[in-house]
Homo-oligomer: A and B are copies of this chain.
């Protein structure tokens, strides 16, 4: 992501053709949305940690965007709940309290539960098979011990479960719910036997879906997300708590 921006910026400066420049130059810098994406990715990668102050000039230096765009991006991120902006002090990465995270997880459990029920009810056999295949790949990840691949597949699995039945809006809400705690999510698969537990949960959900038992699928999904929360809280205690 960062490279995209830099390349884009450099490219527009180095272009040779007049035509190319004519079309490339109107956008002198990266658009505000791109800057927001970049900051978001930095936060997700734990490169920007909660409480850290985001200095405008610094972001401008790194992204090549103008001050105006950077501030627009900050506003967007603040509206998303990722940043907090204080007068004359600037933007900070928002720190989500454990209680807040718990509520976000409970919300996610409810929403993904709905989607799991929908999937059990409406999804075609082909879609169910797709879901099964991804789950299978994840199991091989557990064996080979590759948590980042597991994480990617996990995201894909959850996203597909929601999008297949057309619940794009709910999926969007869920993704926003995830963002503030994504750096913890990322770390969670490295610790303990979270992967094996998650796999067990996935299997339970998949079984309910294959049997067409929507309420069971919903319940299983809820339990799965709530297990994730429980793991996260124990992780938090181990890291920061006494």
Q: A residues engaging B (CB < 8 A)?
A: 32, 68, 71-72, 75-76, 78-80, 99-100, 103-104, 106-107, 110-111, 113-114, 166-170, 173, 177
Contact = CB atoms under 8 A, between A and B. Distances in A.
A167 B105 CA distance: 12
Contacts of A80: 79
A161 B87 CA distance: 33
A125 to B, nearest CB: 24
B107 A173 contact: yes
Contacts of A72: 71-72, 75
14 contacts: A32-B75, A72-B72, A76-B78, A76-B79, A79-B80, A99-B166, A106-B170, A107-B169, A107-B170, A107-B173, A110-B111, A110-B113, A110-B114, A173-B173
A116 to B, nearest CB: 12
Contacts of A169: 100, 103-104, 107
A99 B169 CA distance: 9
A177 B205 CA distance: 27
Nearest to A173: B107
